[in-house]
Structure formats: C-alpha cells, structure tokens
C-alpha cells in the first residue's frame, strides 16, 4: 500500500472551482511534484490532505490514517509548509520556533539550526515586521525542524530569491537522500524537475497527467534547431517528410520534431543540405506540460 493514497477526491466550490475526482498514489521515499497554474486546485488538495477542509467525496489516507478523522495524528507525523503564512502571536521568530519545538516534542534544535544557517535566516527579528521571504524561511524551518518522515509543502519557495531557492533545492535533495517522502506543489518547473521523482499536472481541478520526471527528460521525441546556409536550402528542406514545430524563414531556421527511430534518417537527409548549425533543444518538464495545456 502507498504511504499516501488519494482516491477519487472532490471538493466542489461551484463555478468549476475546487478539485474533481482526483486520484494519486505516493510511495514511501518518493518525492512527488504537483504542478499547475494559480487557481488550478493545488492548495485545495493540500488542505484536504492536512485535514483543514473535508472532501465532498473520496478518501485520503496518509500512513494508513484518514486525513479528516485522524488529522490531529497526521499533523504530528507530517512537516507542513502552507501556501499562506499566518504566524500565531509571538514576538520573534526565535520564540515562535521555540514554541513550535515544544509542541512537536523537539528537544534537540541542532537540525533546525542547520536549516536556519543554510537559509541565512535571522530568527531574532520581529515576526510582524519580517519580509515575505523571511516569513517563508521561518515556515520552512518550522516544518523541517522535527525531521519528519513525511513533508507536505505548498509553494514552499514563494518569496525566496533565486539564491535561496537554490539552497532550498539542496535541502530537499539532502532530505531525499535520507529516504523522506515529500509532496510539493509548485508553479516553478525547474525546482520540481531538479528534485521530484514523479509529477502530476492539475488543470481546472482535474489531474490531466502523471509522469516520472526521468521519463520526461528522456522523451523519445527530440526537437532539433537547424539553420541553413541559404534560403534555397531552407525552402528545399521543407519538402522533406518531417514534422516542423516552428518555421523561421527570415533566419533560415527550422525546429524539427524527430522521434528516436527517425534520427538516423534525419541526419542522413541533412547531408544533402548546407547547414550553418544544428542543436538539440532539450525536452523539459515545462515544455511537456505546456504541450498538454
């Protein structure tokens, strides 16, 4: 049985808002990405997983526990980064983290200190005066401090600058090496691609694809950018039996879709043309999911 089981879950707010018949399985030790545009239904599902809202239909189980009826127990097992940071009344980040540690039964703060240093967080600052980025860092430390086996994160890098995003990705990869199970929503394809084993795309509240990131990176359909030495060569090549995703006549350039099975024929045909340069356009997670939209 999967560590996280989401079966036919629906939360209907009306006017096509919410999520509809969502089913996902997350295995122990798997890092699972959840990608979609703002308003696609990512936060709704994560709030259902954490037991903050009940589903209209369907069932969510985490480590065998029901997400709604056993939500208090699940919160003890899961490190959680919410999409919207709303801290309780505490004078400083240090005091908030101390209270959080007490709530979670964390006595050794060395791990929290290590995350704090990696994120270059000064927790002594006044909570109410913290920037969005500082609040986000504090929430990440609070979620990771118990060294939980399961992490659920809703847009965890919101408000972080590019350098801190890179540090956060390093932290996730360290957690991955420990065998942690992680579920992370994001609209940033690069961080999902760099950390996740599998990824699901949600659109208008419905899952439209679930793929392994390795499968996407090694997609059999390649795209080559070819620039010909002359307009005559460019025009003549258009008569060849290939699929062109883009034509750029002013630059004498073509973007050619080539399946692995056609690569030998493709390069053989190119020998009959004067080519200025050719380069492969790497297939990315973002490109794959945009093709589904």
End-to-end CA distance of the chain: 32
Q: Where are the beta strands (DSSP E) in the chain?
A: 4-14, 17-26, 31-35, 57-62, 65-66, 78-81, 150-154, 181-186, 198-203, 206-212, 221-228, 243-248, 253-259, 275-281
Number of domains in the chain: 2
Show pLDDT as tens, one digit a residue, over the chain (293 residues). Answer: 689 999 999 999 998 899 999 999 999 999 999 998 888 899 999 999 999 999 999 999 999 999 999 999 999 999 999 988 888 777 898 999 999 999 888 999 999 999 999 999 999 988 888 899 999 999 999 999 999 999 999 999 998 998 999 999 999 999 999 999 999 998 888 788 889 999 999 999 999 999 888 877 766 678 899 999 999 999 999 999 999 989 999 999 999 988 888 989 999 999 999 999 999 876 667 777 776 76
User: By the 8 A CB rule, do 10 and 20 touch?
Assistant: yes
The reply to whether 127 and 248 lie within a common domain is no
User: By the 8 A CB rule, do 135 and 159 touch?
Assistant: yes
The reply to whether 27 and 71 lie within a common domain is yes
Q: Residue 218: its pLDDT value, please? A: 66
The reply to whether 276 and 134 lie within a common domain is no
- State which of 197, 213, 229 marks the end of a domain: 213
User: By the 8 A CB rule, do 54 and 68 touch?
Assistant: yes
- Residue 21 token pair: 């018949």
Q: What phi and psi values does residue 68 have, to the nearest 5 degrees?
A: -95, -55
Q: Residue 77: its pLDDT value, please? A: 93
The reply to whether 164 and 80 lie within a common domain is yes
Q: Which residues pair with 256 in a beta bridge?
A: 224, 244
Residue 188 makes CB contacts below 8 A (sequence gap 6+) with 157, 165
Q: What is residue 293's three-state secondary structure?
A: coil
The reply to whether 199 and 248 lie within a common domain is no
The reply to whether 179 and 282 lie within a common domain is no
Q: Residue 45: its pLDDT value, please? A: 97
The domain of 280 spans 221-292
The reply to whether 18 and 50 lie within a common domain is yes
Residues 119, 172: Cα–Cα separation, whole Å = 12
Q: How many CB atoms lie within 10 A of CB 266?
A: 18
CATH number for the domain including 254?
3.30.70
pTM of the model: 0.79
- State which of 189, 213, 237 marks the end of a domain: 213
The reply to whether 232 and 283 lie within a common domain is yes
The reply to whether 197 and 243 lie within a common domain is no
The reply to whether 85 and 105 lie within a common domain is yes
User: By the 8 A CB rule, do 88 and 96 touch?
Assistant: yes
- State which of 193, 213, 233 marks the end of a domain: 213
- Nearest CA to 34 out of 191, 166, 165, 192 is that of 192
**103-128 burial: b if 16+ Cβ within 10 Å, else e:** ebebeeeeebeebbebbebebebebe
The reply to whether 94 and 121 lie within a common domain is yes
The reply to whether 32 and 130 lie within a common domain is yes
CATH number for the domain including 110?
3.40.50.300
């Amino acid at each position: 049985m999967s560590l996280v089981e989401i079966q036919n879950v629906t939360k209907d707010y009306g006017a096509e808002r919410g999520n509809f018949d969502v089913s996902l399985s997350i295995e122990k030790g798997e890092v699972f990405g959840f990608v979609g545009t703002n308003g696609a239904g990512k936060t709704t599902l994560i709030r259902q997983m954490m037991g903050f809202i009940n589903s209209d239909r369907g069932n969510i189980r985490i480590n065998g526990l029901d997400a709604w009826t056993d939500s208090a127990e699940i919160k003890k097992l899961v490190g959680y980064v919410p999409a919207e940071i709303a801290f309780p009344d505490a004078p400083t980040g240090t005091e908030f983290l101390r209270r959080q540690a007490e709530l979670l039964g964390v006595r050794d703060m060395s791990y929290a200190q290590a995350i704090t240093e990696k994120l270059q967080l000064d927790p002594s600052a006044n909570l109410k005066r913290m920037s969005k980025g500082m609040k986000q860092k504090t929430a990440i430390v609070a979620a990771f401090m118990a060294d939980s086996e399961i992490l659920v994160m809703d847009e965890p890098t919101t408000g972080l600058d590019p350098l801190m995003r890179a540090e956060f990705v390093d932290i996730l990869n360290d957690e991955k090496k420990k065998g942690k199970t992680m579920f992370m929503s994001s609209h940033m394809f690069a961080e999902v691609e760099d950390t996740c084993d599998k990824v699901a795309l949600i659109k208008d509240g419905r899952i439209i694809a679930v793929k392994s990131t390795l499968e996407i990176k090694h997609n059999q359909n390649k795209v080559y950018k070819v620039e010909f030495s002359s307009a005559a060569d460019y025009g003549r090549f258009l008569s060849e039996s290939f699929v062109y995703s883009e034509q750029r006549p002013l630059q004498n350039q073509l973007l050619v879709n080539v399946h692995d099975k056609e690569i030998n024929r493709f390069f053989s045909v190119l020998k009959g043309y004067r080519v200025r340069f050719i380069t492969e356009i790497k297939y990315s997670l973002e490109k794959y999911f945009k093709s589904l939209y």
